[in-house]
Amino acid sequence: MQAGLPVQIFAATLLAHSAWADLINIDFGADSRFPSHNKSGLAATGVSDNDYWNFYSSDAPDGSWKVNGSLPNLKYANGASSKVSLKVYNGEGAWAYENPDAMMQNYIYSLGPQSVQTTLRITGLPTGSYKVFLYGPDTSFNLTAGKRDYGTRVVLDHPPGNNSPPWEEGKQYALFTNVTVSGSESVFIRLGPGQRYYQGTVSGMQIELEAPCDNKAGTTAAISREKYQPVMGFTTLPKASEQLEQHQQVRGRKPLGDFWLPGEFQNLQQQRKQEPHGG
């Protein structure tokens, strides 16, 4: 019995390392405008309270706001580097709302008109089948991998912060399963309007390997694009050479819908109760 104990511990350690190496976590925010309490540990999925989260900031080091940005060599949940990269298009907006989870507190979005929405692109994923968890206070997410469209999922965390954690699909996060990636295919997540605001928002993402697969696996679990009506506001990716214009109205912009800074949401609700109602 005692002789077998070190072997059992070693096997358990290998299992934990394997699970960590199958998970990539990304937290979205703005480290200058909203200094982040960077996320670590579990969300709707995860391995341990020490899981590593990559942080994408829409603030540039010089203080400007990044319309487009990237994070190369994303780290796995154990902190080891991968060949997976994130690119963000139209993601210069940032705000915060009251939520007990560090990842959910901040989010990014597009500061353009409704026709210009945030788009996320994941490249370098090893061939396999994945779960993709997408977090945000109020948005619709459309996911494609290669030429396969996995449809649209919506989330609305309203009233905000009351139920997180625990995590509830459709409230704090949207879940896509059996997302197959083959060869050099990219995964695109296109944000669309939420139910209370015309710009899509994203707070975080988790990419979890379900199973490795061969190059033919990309033909399975495909969802026909014709089954889904496109959500208003989806936009095509900008060409790499295009320089997107910063919008002048952003400096005085109000937060999205009812997703206010801590304390402000309650003040808004009290103000609405005191306003006379039309007949």
Q: Which of 140, 150, 198 is nearest to 174 (CA)?
A: 140
**Of 125-139, 219-233, 249-263, the least confident:** 219-233
Confidence category of residue 166, pLDDT binned at 50, 70, 90: confident
Q: What is the model's pLDDT at position 20?
A: 62
Is the pLDDT at 112 greater than 70? The verdict is: yes
DSSP string for 151-220: EEEEEE--STTTT-SSP-BTTTEEEEEEEEE-TT--EEEEEE--SS-SS-EE-EEEEEEEEE--GGGGGS
Is the pLDDT at 203 greater than 60? The verdict is: yes
Is the pLDDT at 83 greater than 50? The verdict is: yes
Q: What is the CATH number of domain 20-237?
A: 2.60.120.430
Q: What is the model's pLDDT at position 98?
A: 82
Q: What is the model's pLDDT at position 165?
A: 66
How does the average pLDDT of the chain come out, rounded?
A: 76
Q: What is the average pLDDT across 220-231?
A: 30
Is the pLDDT at 248 greater than 90? The verdict is: no
Q: What is the average pLDDT across 175-190?
A: 96
Q: What is the average pLDDT across 24-40?
A: 88
Q: State the Cα torsion 202-203-208-213 to the nearest 10°.
A: 20
Q: What is the model's pLDDT at position 264?
A: 38
Q: Which residue did the predictor score with more confidence, 224 or 89?
A: 89
**CA distance linking residue 219 with residue 181, whole number of Å:** 9
Is the pLDDT at 246 greater than 50? The verdict is: no
Q: What is the model's pLDDT at position 28?
A: 96
Q: What is the average pLDDT across 211-233?
A: 39
**CA distance linking residue 192 with residue 229, whole number of Å:** 12
Confidence category of residue 224, pLDDT binned at 50, 70, 90: very low
DSSP class of residue 239?
P
Enumerate the domain spans of the chain. Answer: 20-237
Length of the chain: 279
Q: What is the average pLDDT across 260-268?
A: 39
Q: Which spans in the chain are helix H?
A: 5-20, 102-105, 264-274
Q: Which of 106, 58, 55 is nearest to 250 (CA)?
A: 58
Q: Which of 137, 127, 131, 98 is nearest to 218 (CA)?
A: 127
Q: What is the average pLDDT across 75-87?
A: 96
* Peptide linkage before 159 cis (omega within 30 of 0): yes
Is the pLDDT at 7 greater than 80? The verdict is: no
Q: What is the model's pLDDT at position 14?
A: 41
Percent of the chain topping pLDDT 70:
66
Q: What is the model's pLDDT at position 164?
A: 56
Confidence category of residue 267, pLDDT binned at 50, 70, 90: very low
Q: Are 195 and 138 in contact (CB under 8 A)?
A: yes
Is the pLDDT at 66 greater than 50? The verdict is: yes
